Amino acid sequence: MTDYAPKDIPLRDRLIFALDVPDAGAAKELVVTLADSVEFYKLGLELMTSGDYFEVMDWLHARGKKVFADLKLFDVPATVAGAVAGLRHRGAYFLTVHGNQSIMEAAAAEKGQMRILGVTVLTSLDRGDLDDLGFECSVNSLVLSRARRSLEAGCDGVISSGLEAPALRESVSHKLLVVTPGIRPVDNRPADDQKRVVDVAQAFNNGADYIVIGRPIRDAKDPRAAAEAIQQTISETFT
């Protein structure tokens, strides 16, 4: 493990499964298949646009599961504040916000019991993409800058690649929650849209608190066995 003190998080909650499916039927089928191998689920934009988002969220809560609302809210501060205020009554544990200082401050002011996560740099972006977007700094510098601003705005943590997690721990704060997507088990690194990836053990050794995994579980021949294998790796990493 990295030299920071790991937070008191139940081990099986550290795996968040990305429930990126087109509708409630597909979502429920996967959750039933995964059973007790997964306790924490991320619900993103695909389910939101299906119209089934809150049905699935309520269904998961009824089964004792935690929900990460990955909506990457980005709008004028007043609109984001209203959206966060509406969502906090739905029982989401995490909510992502993507924006500047005033947007994140507005979200933090209305979060209630939710934890607000600021998006740093999407794991699907690399140096070339940042050049195209007009960012002249390095990926690492941009992640650190956005993390500092998130913390100053009252956010609870950030979404960040495991590659930048050590710098976040060293240069920003050990209190910051670091949630790391783009995880690829060492024996399952498909060619896809994720560029800045790490494996399970590397993510936690670098300082991540949670990892988000989707396709390597969803597309496995036996999704429940794949999830349990990841849970075993997490358990071994923290012992």
Establish whether 195 is a catalytic residue: no
DSSP 8-state secondary structure symbol assigned to residue 121: S
Q: Among 190, 193, 183, which Cα is nearest to 227's?
A: 183
| Run of H or E including 105 | helix 101-109
Looking at 28, 42, 65, 72, which residue is catalytic?
72
DSSP 27-60: HHHHHHHHGGG--EEEE-HHHHHHT-HHHHHHHH
From CA 216, how far away is CA 220, in angstroms rounded? 6
| Run of H or E including 158 | strand 157-159
Which residues belong to the active site? 72
